[in-house]
Structure 1
């Protein structure tokens, strides 16, 4: 627990909430003059026993339950980045999932301009793998430039996807299916992901691969064979990043090289010297 940072974050955000907005009267005579909710009022609003919030803010609550942290974050109106900070300060780890189910479903519009400026194939998907933005170079990967609405469903279930993703059953599906499992662990109530999982389980081949439970958390740096609609057979190396305002979303940059020879299979690691 980082007591100093935790105390500073909680005090700052608690001070911004007017007691009157939650039905509390501000004292007019002798008594508390500090801005915002009192620690006891926070306990009342969260239906916690007296002193619970004080223990947390003072740094005397080791390993607080994430349910308490989530309730406080929502009461204080924290955004997703502040939610991550709260969990890191209180638990020394990232949160188990987003603060709000709607998070990860949108990114600032400037991402389209940013993607357009990338010379390699590039796109941005939301936390459900729904397409948000892509550049023209990426569209050329598909016959007639028809980009799929959901890249996860396309990779796992679309017959055209299996033709494009060469060696689909060994080089692609076993790496992609664990990402579906990981996404659902973080977002168990996501209707889009649940539907994709339902379709995966309804097909014998994908269901068997899904049942193996392999662990492959992200594709960053992976190099896999791919059939480009215009440039033919080749190898694509994937660079993955996440817009910070949208947990679960992804910026994917695909570096494609036509031909039978792998280019980045033994590429070095970049590190500061």
Structure 2
């Protein structure tokens, strides 16, 4: 995270809106020299002075009140995800200690849930965005990730840094951008998580696309959707994914990929699963964090 992420986020969102979208009078759009809204226009919509809003964008006004934050969210037409992100950047969670620095362990009961999914590829990730466990079908579907050392076993890291990921994801850029947007949310929610900070630094240095996408300050949280993959053995797959949060382990997320019953993709998953009669891979075991 940078030194002025709140200001950068406001500036990026301001640049992405037009007077017409906000419902400003026509004269506000006359003779414009900048893309998007002017600072004064946002300030007027939020009910604050232009000077104060300018200081916010420049990082010279710290810890704005919740009333101001709500007004800015309304002025800039933020959705629920963007609203939560702005509050996190403003430090409203500063009093809560991050619980993400240590690596999580996969509980035996959750491991049993993973292995019970015969025709679904499933894995669990922790607050560090590290995969702490996956079932056999997940390891067969994403063998390049399953074979990574635990500290590097991240779907976001693999997608953005491993050239082979571009061959697996049929819509690689969309998937990669989704991971960048999710990483922004995670970084804002856990500003003291050094592992996430290290991941961002690595992506900045090693991913050609990441710096530009990161600078867009887009945030997004997907819990369901469709992903298209190409597997070297089974061919193309269209899989629906769902993401669940464990009530017993709030810092862990269960991600499940499955296909509609009787679909070609399910038959291809069945073929892939037939290879999985051997003992589960190391990713399904509750292993200690690697140093």
TM-score bracket for this pair, using the shorter chain length: 0.5 to 0.7
Task: Return the alpha-carbon distance in structure 1 between the equivalents of residues 214 and 176 of structure 2.
Answer: 9
Q: How does 1:1-150 map to 2 (within 5 A)?
A: 96=93, 100-102=99-101, 105-119=104-118, 120-143=120-143, 146-148=146-148, 149-150=153-154
1:222 alignment partner in structure 2: 225
1:13 corresponds in structure 2 to none
Report the Cα distance in structure 2 between the residues aligned to 1:249 and 1:181, rounded to whole angstroms.
18
SS across alignment from 2:183 = helix
Instruction: State the Cα distance separating 1:241 from its structure 2 match.
Output: 0.5
Flag as ranges the 4+ runs of structure 1 deviating above 6 A: none
Contact 2:242 2:256 in 1 (8 A): yes
Which structure is larger by alpha-carbon Rg, 1 or 2?
Answer: 1
Tell me, in whole angstroms, the C-alpha distance in 2 between the residues paired with 1:108 and 1:160: 31
The residue aligned with 1:212 is 216
SS of 1:239's partner is: strand
Question: 2: CA distance between counterparts of 1:123 and 1:103?
Answer: 19
User: For the residues of structure 2 that align with 1:138 and 1:127, how far apart are their CA atoms?
Assistant: 20
TM-score for the superposition, normalised by structure 1: 0.53
- Residues 236 and 254, structure 1, Cα contact 8 Å, conserved in 2: yes
Residue ranges of structure 1 left out of the alignment (5+ in a row):
1-62, 64-94, 260-273
Unmatched runs of 5 consecutive residues or more in structure 2 = 1-65, 67-91, 266-291
Q: In structure 2, do the counterparts of structure 1 residues 234 and 175 end up closer, same or farther at CA, with 3 Å as the change threshold?
A: same
- Residues 123 and 255 in structure 2, CA contact (< 8 A), matched pair in contact too: yes
Shift of 1:153: 0.9
- Equivalent position of 1:178 in the other structure: 181
Report 1 or 2 for greater relative contact order, CA contacts < 8 Å, sequence distance ≥ 6: 2
Match of 1:189 among 175, 187, 192: 192
**What's the CA shift string for 1:138-173, capped at 9, x where partnerless?**
11113589444222211222212222112211x211
Q: Tell me: CA distance 1:248–1:165, structure 2 relative to 1, closer, same or farther (3 Å).
A: farther
Find the aligned partners of 1:215 and 1:142 in 2 and give their Cα distance.
Answer: 26
CA distance in 1, matches of 2:103, 2:247: 9
Where 2:224 maps in the other structure, the secondary structure is coil
| Backbone CA RMSD of aligned residues | 2.6
Q: Is the 8 A contact 1:104 1:245 kept in 2?
A: no
How far does residue 204 in structure 1 lie from its aligned partner after superposition?
Answer: 3.0
> What are the superposed Cα offsets for residues 194-236 of structure 1, whole Å, 9 maximum, x if unpaired?
1111122223312111222222112x22112211243211222
TM-score by length of 2: 0.50
